[in-house]
Amino acid sequence: LRSGQIVAHMSGRYGVGILQSAYDRGALRAAMHPIMTVSGTAADANLLAGASFGVTADPAAEPVAHGLVTAVGGRVVSVPEQARTAYHAAVVLGSNYLATLVTATLTLLDELGVREGADAVAPLLRQSLEKALERGPAGLTGPIRRGDTGTVRAHLDALGTLDPAAAAAYVALAALTLSQLEQAGLVDHERGEAVRQVLLASAVRTVP
């Protein structure tokens, strides 16, 4: 390692701090994390064109880091050094756990005897994702948005029998949904409190 070199990694969690020993020897540092799900196969290369990369770099290394990203058809998203771990948590929340939710949905449908569940829910899931990307909380629909406590309670009772872990996830996600709607001014206080009480009562008896 010497002055004039640039040392880079592709981890999402870490910024340039993890390369301090290289910096101490005169090298410059960059972190270039592809915001894309990859599997470790040759097919991954085709996924990078059009993907965004979370980039953190020493100022003098930025032109090279940005050039490498654009050379593979990627788009640079600058991430502050101090935000790297939270940034990575955010994209994992949206990517890995979105897949977890879809898998849970398909598993439940299969257990209930609903065949070809993936084909059945695919249009719904795609539309929901598009609305979320375009409109944020304003794109949310369903019983939490409506303040439909009866339906929320019935859902939790049904899931509690079928899959307690799924019921616990429903409670957590419903609470997060309610918070987002309240912050956006899309649910009034009375309806929000009614839903919250149902969730709190269910959380007490739900065992993940």
Domain termination residue (choose one: 93, 115, 135): 135
| For range 125-153, the mean pLDDT | 96
Give the total number of structural domains in the chain: 3
- The reply to whether 73 and 86 lie within a common domain is no
Q: Are residues 151 and 203 in the same domain?
A: yes
pLDDT at position 173 is 97
* Residue 109, domain member (yes or no): yes
Residue range 142-188, pLDDT digits in tens: 999 999 999 999 999 999 999 999 999 999 999 999 999 999 999 99
- Residues of the chain with pLDDT > 70, as a percent, come to 98
Task: Answer whether residue 127 is part of any domain.
Answer: yes
Is the same domain home to 114 and 147? no
Nearest to 66 by CA among 30, 17, 12: 30
State the Cα–Cα distance between residues 140 and 129, nearest whole angstrom. 10
**Per-position DSSP letters for 149-201, written without gaps between them:** HHHHHHHHHHHHHH-HHHHHHHHHHHHHHHHHHHHTT-S-HHHHHHHHHHHHH
Where in the sequence is the domain holding 155, given as residue range(s)?
Answer: 140-208
pLDDT attached to residue 188: 92
In a domain, 155, yes or no: yes
Choose the final residue of a domain: 56, 79, 102.
79
Q: How confident is the model at residue 205 (pLDDT cuts 50, 70, 90)?
A: low
164 and 206 housed in the same domain: yes
Q: Is residue 1 part of a domain?
A: no
Averaged over 112-124, what is the pLDDT? 96
> Does one domain contain both 158 and 195?
yes
Instruction: Please indicate, yes or no, whether residues 144 and 203 belong to a single structural domain of this protein.
Output: yes
- The answer to whether position 49 is within a domain reads yes
In the listed set 33, 55, 79, which residue is the last one of a domain according to the structure? Answer: 79
Same domain assignment for residues 56 and 119: no
* Of the listed ranges 41-50, 94-103, 123-132, 159-168, the one predicted with least confidence: 41-50
What is the C-alpha to C-alpha distance for residues 208 and 169, in angstroms, rounded to an integer? 8
DSSP one-letter code for 50: T
